[in-house]
Structure 1
Amino acid sequence: MASGGDDLVKYITEKVVVYMEDPRASRARRKAEKQPWAEKWFGMLPLGLSIWRSKWSDGGRK
């Protein structure tokens, strides 16, 4: 049975090989499609707070 360190090295090596074999244009396209974390969460945070505040200011009549 392989030790945990050997498994980790094997996993990292496989990921690096896949990354290096992937064309540069493909990596750039995939990175451009990814939505930024801050935009995702801070875009929804003000909306959630405004809904929460409107429920409190309406007295829960909705």
Structure 2
Amino acid sequence: MERKKIKKGRKKERKRERERGKERAREKWKREKKRVRERVKQRNNLRVVITNSERKEKE
């Protein structure tokens, strides 16, 4: 009986570790998404700056 209890505890511990791993993965994904979004914003800003300067040159 003693062994079974220990095994069950390990199983629950593993499950907890897995949940924690999933949570970490989710956080990592969110951070990566934010970084990508920032990069896209920067690229768009650069594009806007270029087009504005071109318009000024044409006029």
TM interval, shorter chain, is 0.3 to 0.5
- TM (norm. structure 1) is 0.39
- Name the structure, 1 or 2, with higher relative contact order (CA <8 Å, separation 6+): 1
- TM (norm. structure 2) is 0.40
Structure with greater helix share of residues = 2
